Amino acid sequence: MQKRKLGNGGLEVSALGFGCMGMSFSYGPPKDKKEMTTLLHAAVERGVTFFDTAEVYGPLINEELVGEALAPYRGKVVIATKFGWEANPGDVGRWSALNSRPEHIKQVAEESLKRLRVDAIDLYYQHRVDLNVPIEDVAGTVKDLIQEGKVKHFGLSEASAKTIRRAHAVQPVTALQSEYSLFFREPEETVMPTLEELGIGFVPFSPLGKGFLTGKIDADTKFDSTDFRNTVPRFSAENRKTNQALVDVITAFAETKKATPAQIALAWLLAKKPWIVPIPGTTKLSRLEENLGATNLSLTADEVQSLEEASSKVKIEGARYSPFHQSLVGR
């Protein structure tokens, strides 16, 4: 597995990370803990060193799963987690209010350390920008935690370029985590120039378009009642039918490379910038191995351009979030 560096602070991780959210949250009911532990071990054995979780996934149970499963690999893996919500146990499938007040950050950092079974959080993201707390106060609080040895690197999620600059001036930001894929390319205009200028890594979540770019979802697919895609306008049956045109473009390109659509979608991200590290999630070993196959695919500049030209002709229908979640991004 190739390695990549996130930011200028020397954080080195596998070129492809692992998004752990779906094991406990958002994509149907929580999965079997023993099976997910085996899968996380399989990921490490195949060279993955970068794992992503959050306090609110579950809430709390995803951090517990990741902490317990990866305990045998302390010092060999990088675990990222997030703060910024009132993560109340029992609020399964729901998100509570934002809270990035300094005293709250310090409290939940201690709790995440215990669940993750680590002495320091490798990468600590603000999950969503809280307009009630100046970003300078948030960055300053994480800076304190870094000085105390409880956090190693600071990250932001779904923040605007302006907010990134303000935070970075107080405590260098190692990585931004935001949605980015052939299904959603807006970050190329809004944040990537700023990341490149400041030397900040980019960690795309939903690099497979919440599963859509795998080619395994169509207009007739039925999601579990607890699957959050039921609330996403882009995933209405009508919009899936229209958006299938993008999957068709990627599938046709994949056939020329003897690859799968998912592998092409990931290889495209890896080809965009050397400081991009996608974090696809899965609950199946076969999908993990398929995703990792993308690291052996190299797309030329001409191939990237060809894929982008063909895919940009498809007009994507539907917002990527419900109105509430949409209001929390790009702030």
Domain map (residue ranges) of the chain: 3-208+272-297
* Beta-bridge partners for 5: 12
Q: Active-site positions? A: 57
Distance CA 329, CA 84 (A): 13
Q: What is the pLDDT along the chain (331 residues), one digit of tens a residue?
A: 999 999 999 999 999 999 999 999 999 999 999 999 999 999 999 999 999 999 999 999 999 999 999 999 999 999 999 999 986 655 554 556 899 999 999 999 999 999 999 999 999 999 999 999 999 999 999 999 999 999 999 999 999 999 999 999 999 999 999 999 999 999 999 999 999 999 999 999 999 999 999 999 999 999 999 999 999 999 999 999 999 999 999 999 999 999 999 999 999 999 999 999 999 999 999 999 999 999 999 999 999 999 999 999 999 999 999 898 899 999 9
DSSP per-residue string spanning 299-325: --HHHHHHHHHHHHTS---S-SS-HHH
DSSP 55: T
Question: Is the pTM of the predicted complex or chain greater than 0.85?
Answer: yes
Kindly list the strands in the beta sheet with 201-205, ordered across the sheet, starting from the edge strand earlier in the chain.
Answer: 18-19, 50-52, 78-83, 121-126, 151-157, 173-179, 201-205
Amino acid identity at 239 = N
Whether a cis peptide bond, with omega within 30° of 0, leads into 72 is no
Q: Which of 73, 75, 52, 74 is nearest to 63 (CA)?
A: 52
CATH classification for the domain delimited by 3-208+272-297, as one of 3.40.50.150, 3.20.20.100, 3.60.15.10, 1.25.40.420: 3.20.20.100
